[in-house]
Amino acid sequence: MTAVTEGSAMDTAEVFDRLRRHFSPKLALTGGFAGRGAVEVAAEGCRVRLSDGRSALDFGSYAVTLLGHRHPAVAEAVRQQLEAMPTATRSLANPVAAGAAARLSGYLGDALPKVYFGLNGADVVEVAVKLARLATGRSRVVAVRGGFHGKSLGALALTHSPLYRAGLLGSAVDVVHVAADDPAAVWREVAGGEVAAVVFEPVQGENGAVPLDGAVLRQWCEDAARHGCFVIADEIQCGLRRCGERSVALADGLPVDAVLLGKPLGGGVVPLSALLCSERLYAPLAADPFLHSATFGGHPLSCAALPAALHAIEELAGHGEELAGWLDEMLDGLRARHPEVVRAVRGRGLLRGIDCGSPQAAGSMVVELAGAGLLVSPCLSRPTTIRLLPPLVAGPAEVAEAAELLDAALATTGRTLRRGGAG
């Protein structure tokens, strides 16, 4: 297979042809619209370079690139591990995975000492629920309306959106979804005695960057504990300083039994996710370490990235608070200038949602922005909303550039709405 040559229309056309033939034609269609016929070929920091020579400012990437692209310290850590031992035997003890587990547990204050490494968010959602059911002997799980926890079959049962669960009812996990604003919801569900775990995102990412009420979450945690249920905070998108704190749940003083991390955990260079949990939740896996395993879980390249990624995140944490303030000012201004398009602004820290009122308007915004040079992320569970997920390495110049591009796209969408096109 030949490499894509920058600027070569023939090779770019071949990429889209292969996408149509080997993946979904819709991927080729949406990628073609977003890139205006170009494909991504390189990236560094906040920027993605396209095959036609243009560049785009990356405020999307589904929250993976918290440190931007190819952070030098993370890339160097992976490079050194690649030269030493890129994969594990799975028979011998691996010091890189052991060191990464200790570093991660310490990063959260050793409140949750046990660790399981996966490759993506759904991996650790699956193992967390599996352990909760085994440890309690119960089958039911309480999740939250609007929540997103992955699309593998077990994790999908917790994901609320019917769009992705259609035709897949009757999966092995018995889940009830409760309203996010109902403090008594967990009490009612756990009273029956069959609930193994309560799972929530402190800030719902795919639902449009919606922070859940801390008082409600605290009540849920207390009610779950009274009935011997585990509480699992899914921070795969909102944790690791994305929303200001290392762990949103722990920083808010919520007595959780587990925190799930992912997306930027591999520094935006390699795939990595993690379950951190209590001894009690981990007990079935401690008794039988082969109860749940994966060939590439705790992969040396990914685990080598983790300490470098956490160090870099902490170095930039103060800047992240300043960056969040610039986002506040930018979004307030956009909402004031474009009230016919911007129906609501939500979020926390560097996870923000702009609600455009309709899926058509939001979809138009995503494509318009990508073509103009700003990458954002749509929301799978709330298609009326687009997400801004700026990296910690962004500065005032990048925020100003994003504001200018958003302003122009909102103006274009507003004109379309007034003509009756995208409402």
Domain CATH code at residue 13: 3.90.1150.10
Per-residue pLDDT reduced to its tens digit, 220-266 = 999 999 999 999 999 999 999 999 999 999 999 999 999 999 999 99
Residue 88 has pLDDT above 50, yes or no: yes
CATH number at residue 220: 3.40.640.10
Nearest residue to 221 via CA among 203, 194, 202: 202
Assess whether 65 and 76 both reside in one domain: no
- Asked whether residue 81 falls in the same domain as residue 56, the answer is no
pLDDT of residue 2: 43
CB 78 within 8 A of CB 269: yes
Containing structural domain, residue 208:
72-312
User: What pLDDT sits at residue 169?
Assistant: 58
pLDDT of residue 157: 72
Residue 143 placed within a domain:
yes
- 48-84 pLDDT, tens digit per residue, is 999 999 999 999 999 999 999 999 999 999 999 999 9
> pLDDT, tens digit, for every residue of 373-409?
999 999 988 999 999 999 999 999 999 999 999 999 9
Mean pLDDT value across residues 117-143: 95
- The answer on 235 and 193 residing in a single domain is yes
Query: pTM (2 decimals)?
Result: 0.93
Q: What is the pLDDT of residue 160?
A: 76
Tens digits of residue pLDDT in 192-212? 889 999 999 999 999 999 999
* Domain match, 85 and 204 both: yes
Give how many domains the chain has, as a whole number: 2
Average pLDDT of every residue of the chain:
93
Q: Note the pLDDT tens digit of each residue in 313-372.
A: 999 999 999 999 999 999 999 999 999 999 999 999 999 999 999 999 999 999 999 999
CA end-to-end distance (rounded Å), the chain: 44
pLDDT at 155: 73
Name residues whose C-beta falls within 8 Å of residue 335's C-beta, 6 or more positions apart in sequence: 342, 345
Question: Which of the 8 DSSP states describes residue 50?
Answer: E
Q: Which pLDDT belongs to residue 119? A: 95
**What does DSSP say about strands 230-234 and 258-261: parallel, antiparallel, or unpaired?**
parallel
Residues 6+ apart with CB under 8 A from 207: 146, 147, 148, 160, 379, 381, 382
Q: In b/e form, how buried is each residue of 50-73, taking b as 16+ CB within 10 angstroms?
A: bbbeeebbbbbbebbbbbbbebeb
Task: Compute the chain's Rg from CA coordinates.
Answer: 22
Residue 321 and residue 287 share a domain? no
Judgement on whether residues 384 and 293 belong to the same structural domain of the protein: no
